[in-house]
Amino acid sequence: MIFQVILCVALFFFLCGSVIRIARYAKMPPHLRWELYPAGSTKGGSDGSYLEHQEWWNKPWHQSRISELRFMAKEIFLFHKCRMNNRGIWRFTLPFHWGLFLLTGWLLIQFAGSGGAFFLKVLGRTAPFVDGAVLVASPLAMAGLVLAAYGCTGLLLKRLLDPALRSVTSRSDFFGLFLILATVLCWFLSWALFDRSLAGATGYLRELTRFAPASDVNPFMISGIVLLSVFLVYMPFTYMVHAYAKYFIYHKVVWQDEPMAPGSETERRVEQMLRRPVGWSASHVSDGGSWGKTISSSP
Amino acid sequence: MKEEVQVRRGITTVEARDLCVIPYLPAGVDGKGVTPLSPEQLLRIDCSFDGVTALGLSAPKSAEEEERLVTAFLDGLRKLFQPDSNWTFLQPLTLTMDNCARCQTCANACPIYVASGGKEIYRPTFRSDLLRKIKQKYLGGHKLWARLTGNDIRLDWTTIARLAESSYRCTLCRRCAQACPMGVDNGLVAREIRKLLSQELAISPKELHRLGTIQQLKVGSSTGMNPAAFSDIKEFMEDDLKDRTGKKIEIPVDRQGADVLLLHNAGEFLAWPENPEAFAVILNAAGVDWTLSSRLSGYDGVNYGAWYDDVQLARIAITHARVAHELGAKRIVVGECGHATKALVVTADSLLTGALRINRESCLPLLQDLVLRDAIHLDAARNDFPVVLHDPCNLVRLAGIVEPQRRILQKVCPQFREMTPSRTDNYCCGGGSGFAIMSSYNFPDWRMNVSGRLKVKQILDAFRDCLDPSIKKYVCAPCSNCKGQIRDLLSYYELDKRYNIVYGGLVDLIANAMTDIPRML
């Protein structure tokens, strides 16, 4: 029971940490435009932008969701940029991330299945299809474990053995990778030595959603749960937040080329910032006034 | 004293033998390397980063002065992450600082890192990591955590000086950001460090600040040209046009209510007057209602603030918008200048609020329209020599203006060819972010040997089938800054003499193809 509590607390920390991080990014003031081309959101997947058109302000600004989704799919599922620019990392990071995607998918299916079955039971109904779905999902977890273990080992070895990478890898980078590898290996050994059908892991999660004590556990599963808990608490403080920060990087910076329209919300927010103090100390900017006043005056 | 000189010589130095190889060049032409500073200069100037100096910084004279500098640096660093003082770039900067995986995918995309033969200190992540470590230790308040995670770094004068110089070893081309799977922008970090130094410690290259933005706002142009001098140059250009074309071609100035206020980089008037002259020939022939401005800063479209200082960037953009409003112009069209286009059309977009709003665009779509709809009479046979297009980063990767210049060249140059890589994947000329005009100490050597190196290789690769000096070859660079850098590269590597490679803008080629005037090239 204690490990279930630990996992729940870790999950709570993870969710809180992630929500705080996301809220922090979302609440930041409007910035000056800093886009990059080709932008995934450009209509027709063109390299260029609307600035290629004369008197562009007379044409409606438009972003293509289809181009955007195509770009995102290439990045998320194929790691296209990494493949084009860093093949040595790509051959490990692709299976590593695919492993994590499959494991996350399996976890979500388990939680959904367990939750669904629980509520159906409350309603006095049986749900054989839930058990079926949960069993069908098991190969996902097995494939995920193998891919994540392979990819993570490869990334660790690459960072340890490649002098160019080793010199720039920090202790926290190594720690993060070791933590993931240890977690994955524990689950892998639990599966290989004790729980070939994953019935134990499935049961553990089911009992977790019902707040019932777990029955079918083994030492590797317990170790895996402890390590997973540590990872969940640690993750929101690391660069691994790119899992959700990438939304802001791409949609709020790199692809954000919407021209500021008169009377728009952006203009209102910018005007608000222009009333704030500049605050810098060099003589050419330190007149003590607001941004609006300082940038309208001579240095 | 000997030890002191040794310390200031640099973590590493740029040796010619380490640099990537440029084919087609005899050993004597390449391999000049970077001239070290003299022992006397080394006593005065800190070049403890790589033996080169862009800033000419001097070490503090006392421990107290050093402490004051360190405190000021940390104050600036704090402001970099506060919404009031850095709302302009807080979100992109924070996202970059938080999300770098240090996978080095960016390294091979960086022309400086590649050209240097893979020197550690030129990795795009080098300066970002340094800044991250300082932030974590000194602003995070977790010294023990910093020690545990390997971020234990001592912040003293040498660290600040190295970080400052390192921020001027990046051309802000942002090719690294384009390659990064996370979208992390190490180019932005270089600019933010420059900004911290400028806005808090008043440290910046004199060519960008004192002789650049300050002079532009006070005198009218970063070239030092005042409105009276501009009027003289305008008259000179009209006389020159008469000599070259045999026609009286007027250059309108301060025409009220014109459709187009054309904003040139003032460097064109002094170094390449044939460029604004070509604009005049084309726009007049096509019947465009246009004007130049003689007001303070109204005849110089540059905005060096884009490279190092948000306040100066905003001041200049606002000045340009005011000039256009005073003239009653319907739109500002920026001439052949990449950073001026990006600064005014893209970056300053959200700074021009309310009554300051004015329509702004690059000259390339306008020129494309005139050329493609035959508003001027052209004969491509007049440009029947190999022409290669250089893509200015600020126009392609940073503003998405990729096709108009190509469509024009396809129409007016029968032997038009591309560099490899090109378009949004292009390499910087090596003079970006102010480098082309920074000429202190041994910095120009570094610019020629390192930051411009891949551009030389690209130019030679593009012309490899016609290197015979009897064939004139033309590098088309529709950007003043790039043009200056390419001029210097051609001369430094003797490509002009050895292979008959010349350079110029895009309008020069259009004007040369016009049938109703004599050839301009």
Please judge whether B90 and A250 are an interchain contact, meaning their C-beta atoms are less than 8 angstroms apart.
Answer: no
Q: H or E segment at B7?
A: helix B2-8
Residue A288 in contact with partner chain B when CB distance is under 8 A: no
What pLDDT, on a 0 to 100 scale, did the predictor assign at position B127?
A: 96
Do you find a cis peptide bond into B421, omega within 30 degrees of 0? Answer: yes
Taking residues B448-458, what's their average pLDDT?
97
Q: Are residues B131 and B265 in the same domain?
A: no
Last residue of a domain, one of B201, B223, B254: B201
Is there a contact between B446 and B52 (Cβ–Cβ < 8 Å)?
A: yes
pLDDT tens across B320-336, in order?
Answer: 999 999 999 999 999 99
Last residue of a domain, one of B176, B201, B226: B201
Residue B426 included in any domain: yes
CA distance B319 to B204: 22
* Closest-approach residue (CA) in chain B for A25: B91
Decide which of A40 and A41 is more confident.
A40
- What pTM was estimated for this model as a whole? 0.95
In this predicted structure, the answer to whether residue B124 has a pLDDT above a threshold of 90 is: yes
In this predicted structure, the answer to whether residue B11 has a pLDDT above a threshold of 80 is: no
Interface of A with B in 107-146 (CB under 8 A): none
What pLDDT, on a 0 to 100 scale, did the predictor assign at position A131?
A: 65
Could you give the domains of chain A? 2-46+61-254 (1.20.950.20), 265-295 (no CATH)
What pLDDT, on a 0 to 100 scale, did the predictor assign at position B1?
A: 42
Q: Are residues B249 and B357 in the same domain?
A: yes
In this predicted structure, the answer to whether residue B4 has a pLDDT above a threshold of 80 is: no
Residue A23, C-beta contacts closer than 8 angstroms, at least 6 positions apart: none
Q: Are residues B327 and B411 in the same domain?
A: no
Measured at the CA of B107, the angle between CA B102 and CA B109, to 5 degrees, comes to: 130
Q: Are residues B448 and B404 in the same domain?
A: yes
Last residue of a domain, one of B342, B369, B396: B369
pLDDT tens across A85-115, in order?
Answer: 999 999 999 999 999 999 999 888 888 877 7
Q: Are residues B111 and B249 in the same domain?
A: no
Residue B42 included in any domain: yes
Residue B268 included in any domain: yes
Decide which of A64 and B337 is more confident.
B337
Residue B357, C-beta contacts closer than 8 angstroms, at least 6 positions apart: A262, B321
What pLDDT, on a 0 to 100 scale, did the predictor assign at position A72?
A: 92
Taking residues A192-206, what's their average pLDDT?
85
Residue A294 — pLDDT band, cuts 50, 70, 90? very high
Domain count, chain B: 3
Alpha helices in A27-170 (DSSP H): 65-78, 80-85, 87-122, 128-136, 138-161, 163-166
Give the burial class of B37: count Cβ atoms within 10 A of its Cβ; 0-12 exposed, 13-18 middle, 19 or more buried: buried
Per-residue b or e along B75-113, where b marks 16 or more CB atoms closer than 10 Å to that residue's CB:
bbbbbbeeeebbbbbbbbbbbbbbbbbbbbbbbebbbbb
Residue B520 included in any domain: no
Residue B346 in contact with partner chain A when CB distance is under 8 A: yes
Residue linked to tokens 């014109």: B258
CA distance B429 to A233: 46
Please judge whether A89 and B105 are an interchain contact, meaning their C-beta atoms are less than 8 angstroms apart.
Answer: yes
CA distance A216 to A224: 14
What is the least distance, in Å, from the CA of A49 to any CA of chain B?
Answer: 5
Taking residues A263-284, what's their average pLDDT?
96
Residue B521 included in any domain: no
Q: Are residues B237 and B351 in the same domain?
A: yes
CA distance A59 to B218: 37
CA distance A190 to A35: 47
Q: Are residues B405 and B420 in the same domain?
A: yes
Residue A1 — pLDDT band, cuts 50, 70, 90? confident
Q: In this structure, what DSSP letter does residue B439 have?
A: -
Q: Are residues B165 and B225 in the same domain?
A: no
Q: Which residues of B touch A252 (CB under 8 A)?
A: 91
In this predicted structure, the answer to whether residue A215 has a pLDDT above a threshold of 80 is: no
* Closest-approach residue (CA) in chain B for A167: B120
Residue A127 — pLDDT band, cuts 50, 70, 90? low
Query: Domain range for residue B193?
Result: 2-201
Interface of B with A in 140-179 (CB under 8 A): 148-151, 174, 177-179
Residue B518 included in any domain: no
Instruction: Please give the mean pLDDT across all residues of chain B.
Output: 95
Residue B310 in contact with partner chain A when CB distance is under 8 A: yes
Instruction: Please give the mean pLDDT across all residues of chain A.
Output: 91
Q: Are residues B480 and B399 in the same domain?
A: yes
B131-B134-B140-B145 Cα dihedral, nearest 10 degrees: 120
Residue A130 — pLDDT band, cuts 50, 70, 90? low
Q: Are residues B195 and B268 in the same domain?
A: no
Per-residue b or e along B232-250, where b marks 16 or more CB atoms closer than 10 Å to that residue's CB:
ebbeebbeebeebbeeebe
In this predicted structure, the answer to whether residue B370 has a pLDDT above a threshold of 60 is: yes
What pLDDT, on a 0 to 100 scale, did the predictor assign at position B3?
A: 47
DSSP states of A41-81 = TSGGG-SS-GGGSTTGGGS-----HHHHHHHHHHHHHH-HH
Q: Are residues B380 and B329 in the same domain?
A: no
Share of chain A above pLDDT 90, in %: 68
Q: Which residues of B touch A34 (CB under 8 A)?
A: 89, 92, 185, 188, 347
B66-B70-B73-B74 Cα dihedral, nearest 10 degrees: -170
Q: Are residues B389 and B494 in the same domain?
A: yes
Share of chain B above pLDDT 70, in %: 98
Please judge whether A33 and B350 are an interchain contact, meaning their C-beta atoms are less than 8 angstroms apart.
Answer: yes
Taking residues B77-91, what's their average pLDDT?
98
Q: Which of A177-186, B22-31, B167-176, B428-437 has the lowest mean pLDDT?
A: B22-31
